[in-house]
Amino acid sequence: MKIANLDGRAALITGGGATDVAAASDGRFGPDPQSLFDHWSAFTEWASTVELPDAAASAAIDVEGLGAPVPRPRQVFAIGLNYAEHAAEAGYPPNSMPVTFTKFPSCIVGADTIVELPEGNVDWEVELVVVIGREARNLDRESAWDHVAGLTIGQDLSERITQLQGSAPQFSLGKSFPGFGPTGPWLVTPDEFAHRDDLALSCSLSGERMQSSRTSMMLYDVPELLVRLSAVCLLLPGDIIFSGTPSGIGNRRTPQRFIGADDVLVSEIEGIGTLTTRFTASI
């Protein structure tokens, strides 16, 4: 099942159309997309049995109305250096622990957002984003996926000067400017994927392919990330995890390449779709 945030209201995506969750459930669930995670099991149970109109009968999707599938996560985890080739290009040895930071939740936006570029060097990072569906602590690998509500596409946009200045890097600040957390276009539940641990992911900047890999290349896969994070933190329904980016970022290209005004960033993950982000110069 695919669940979207359409103009601030939870919607089930069916074929080429959308069905409003609050209307279809007589107000039992939604309309706030974030509220679905408070009753995720009951919601998915209802959604799996409800009779949905076919694509022709449901409302067409207004792509510009797509907001973040998880608009107000309480916790945003982000993982650095989770693909060996990216760790190498960034100049780091393989780490014995996933490098963990946050993107402050105010940076989270949806698909087709226009991001105002701050001064500096703004870079792209396509990432699989994992959304938590059930509270979790001290998970084991075997049950980890049972706590995942779904997957979506994320861009971990980064301003590299802010990120790397100082004697200890400022990962969280440099990656949290307004609009620096595009997510979407919708949430796809894990049962929709034939091979949920091996999804092609890529991104292109204004038509030029910049990154291309598979999530099976992660050093710490989704179950392992959930084990490591839940060993320390209580994972809450509606939390999101940016799971790291493969190689091909602009900061490590020769010559370096950064996002400019009028660039269009298209990110793609197999089985989820595409996430488009546009940019404009700061005013």
Q: Among 143-151, 196-204, 216-224, 244-252, which window interacts with Zn ion (CB under 5 A)? A: 244-252
**β-pair partners for 182:** 109
The residue number with the shortest CB distance to Zn ion is 156
Residue 122's nearest CA partner among 163, 85, 89, 91 is 163
Q: Tell me the window of 67-75, 120-128, 140-148, 190-198 that interacts with Zn ion (CB under 5 A).
A: 120-128
Rule CB under 5 A: say whether 176 interacts with Zn ion. no
Least distance in angstroms from the C-beta of 164 to Zn ion: 13
Give the contact letters, 155-174, x = binds to Zn ion (CB under 5 A), - = no: -x------------------
Judged by CB under 5 A, does residue 268 bind Zn ion? no
Q: Alpha carbon 267 to chain centroid distance?
A: 10
Identity of the residue, 245 or 277, whose beta carbon is nearer to Zn ion in the bound complex: 245
Least gap, CB of 171 to Zn ion (angstroms):
9
Sheet order of strands, 273-280 included: 113-116, 273-280, 264-269, 200-205, 208-214
Q: Which of 92, 94, 101 is nearest to 243 (CA)?
A: 101
Phi first, then psi, for residue 145 (nearest 5°) are -60, -25
| Contacts for 64 with CB less than 8 Å, ≥ 6 apart | 112
Q: Which helix (H) or strand (E) holds 225?
A: helix 222-230
The answer to whether residue 125 forms part of the interface with Zn ion (CB under 5 A) is yes
Which is closer to Zn ion, CB of 2 or CB of 175? Answer: 175
Residue 24 or residue 126: which is nearer to Zn ion going by CB?
126
Tell the smallest beta-carbon distance from residue 100 to Zn ion (Å): 11
CB of 123 to Zn ion, least distance (A): 9
What is d(CA 60, CA 37) in angstroms, rounded to the nearest whole number? 25
| Cβ-contact 198, 105 below 8 angstroms | no
DSSP assigned state of 61 = P
What would the x/- binding string for Zn ion be over residues 68 to 107, using CB under 5 A? ----------------------------------------
Candidates 5, 245, 247, 277; binder of Zn ion (CB under 5 A) is 245
Q: In one letter, which amino acid is 40? A: W
Closer to Zn ion by CB, 35 or 106: give it: 106
Which residue number, 44 or 245, has a Cβ lying nearer to Zn ion? 245
Q: Identify which of 80, 84, 82, 85 has the alpha carbon closest to the alpha carbon of residue 102.
A: 80
Question: In the bound complex, what is the minimum distance in angstroms from residue 18's beta carbon to Zn ion?
Answer: 30
- For Zn ion, which is the closer residue by CB, 125 or 239? 125
Nearest residue to 40 via CA among 105, 134, 120: 134
Compare residues 125 and 263 and give the one whose CB is closer to Zn ion.
125
Residues shown for the chain: 283
Task: Quote the least distance from Cβ 192 to Zn ion, whole Å.
Answer: 24
Tokens 């960034």 locate to 90
Token pair recorded at residue 7:
């103009």
CB of 207 to Zn ion, least distance (A): 23
Residues within the interface to Zn ion (CB under 5 A): 125, 156, 245
